Structure 1
Amino acid sequence: MTEDLQRRIAYALYLENWSFENGSRAGLLKDAETVEPSDYSKDMKGHLFCPRCFTNLSRVPHDKDHSTSSMEAHFKHLPTYRHIGCMLRSTQGSGKKYSSIESVSQAIDNEELVIINSFMQDKPEQRVVGGARPFDEAQIEDVDGPESEVPLGQHDGQTFKVPSKITSLRGICRNFDKNYYRYYFLPGNQHAIALTMLLNDARKVTEEDDKPKLYFVKLQKSTHHGNPPGPTNIRMTFLEKSPHVIDFCIKTQHRLQNDHGIGDDTEGRYALVYSSVTSNGIGLCFKNLGWGEIALIPEKYNYLIEDVYNAAHS
């Protein structure tokens, strides 16, 4: 176990009067407050839990921002639970396997596992709340999909028939902290993988890729093309990119990005995109996106995206 892995616990779940041995995991996920190391106070001691394995965490150091070796404060697992496997503590593979259909169903019921059949291609019916702007409107974020035969078993070739969702990245981003360590089975994958392990950094992309993946991107200049500008004109939103790529952009009709709040004033913001990577002149782009395949991440969750980036470059 390395210090880098320990420090990848980006936040703890804080809930008084809950215990790993007797508490409901669904209740913890629903009621707990998310706490970063910098938000910690001494009265939280004994009430902090891992967002992935749900065992107790401690904050090191307990009463200051840096240790005697100048290491920043961070969360770590307690030795008492060293026998409980956790992707945030060990070097085990990121894929999650299950022993029975009952264990899969329980994980789905506890909202620890989401089976995604596909992402929405068309905009769902809107439910406008007050005077909200388009990307603040309450939307239908997922609908029930067909039962899917998925290879989630511990043994090679073992599959389970389970209910799935047709969902949107907007739904994942809305409660990004709750979803950050949740396991997702994406279309075409062979394992359920934690969201934090599914996120690919677009700044590391250097060539076309036919296989759709889940990317996080940092937005730069965005331009609405066409004269006069209109909803069906192209909007090109450029991304922070690899130095080996001339340019990299999201290239869609203006109305799609506008629906998700992406436009002239979103430079510096993070977004999620589920897409293949195609050429665009001498550069690269994400294009032909469905409505559910792009979403702006609320700024309050920037620390989680930056945690993924820093972990990948540690």
Structure 2
Amino acid sequence: MLSYFEDLPEKEDLLQDSDCCGNGCTNCILDNKPRPSKRVLLAGKRNVILSYTKFRLLRRQTLESGSDGQVLLLHFAHAAEEDGEGAEDTVLDIPPGHHVMMRVGSLLRPYSPYWSDFVAKEFRILVKLQPEGPMSRHLQAVQPNDLLEFRGPIGQYVHEPQPAKCIYIIAQGVAIAPTLPLVRQVLDNEDDMSRLWHLVCARDLQHVYFREEMLEFAQFWNYRSCLYLPHQQCDSPACQEAGHCAQECPQLRSNLRYKETAKVSRLDASELGNHLNPAIPGQRVLIVAGDSRFQKIMAQFAMQSLDVDPANIYML
């Protein structure tokens, strides 16, 4: 494998300070240099995204639009005709828990795909546009057939199915998207006995994305989820007066689907501890997807309530 790395084109080995987006990412591209994965090595092909590569926007869908910005689903495909890459010689490998860097001129921003196709070289991201954000202004204007540049994959998380683990995945808002591949890689492996706790923090039920996918996950014996909705509010007089729904609000209950569990509260250390079952064996692993403040708070809660070793805490 070392000889393979040594044979990589020089342009893929060189990283410059300008390759860092400056956002303080936990998995900075300067610290986590993109490398070929075992999957790519076995395929005998090149991961097309190891250096900045052009991808064409195939589909743009607005999932939500409000005063705090838009949420967009963006679907990209490798633009082989633009990069001069032979389609038969390359693949796209973005492992679960890894992100890619988007480059527009001097602007760099990390995004974590929630779906990718190894052979077709396509991926999808969920993006919340921030008012007045430089990259958000650019993405607000992009349309299908536009070309954008990406590089990756960047990240440290690697899941080993053996031995079985207790994996706690905490997601904030749109950051639920990149946690989906993390769940799938466990559930799709019949030999993986790891347990999953998928804890999703959102403003209210309307702001919970990928509910259908979570309902599909709930069919598996080793998956549990819970929604935390501190600002859930229906139009009943009692809930309007309180400023939020009661835990047993009938309207909230009626809006929940089979096997959906929701709490009208924030996820804190005490609540996180309620998901701990000492009788279930396995190393405890925490994965947090969200902004840096959210990541830091949840890591502290987990060390306090779940006794998670800091070495087993991963930030997306």
TM-score interval, normalised by the smaller of the two chains: under 0.3
**Structure richer in helix, relative to its length:** 2
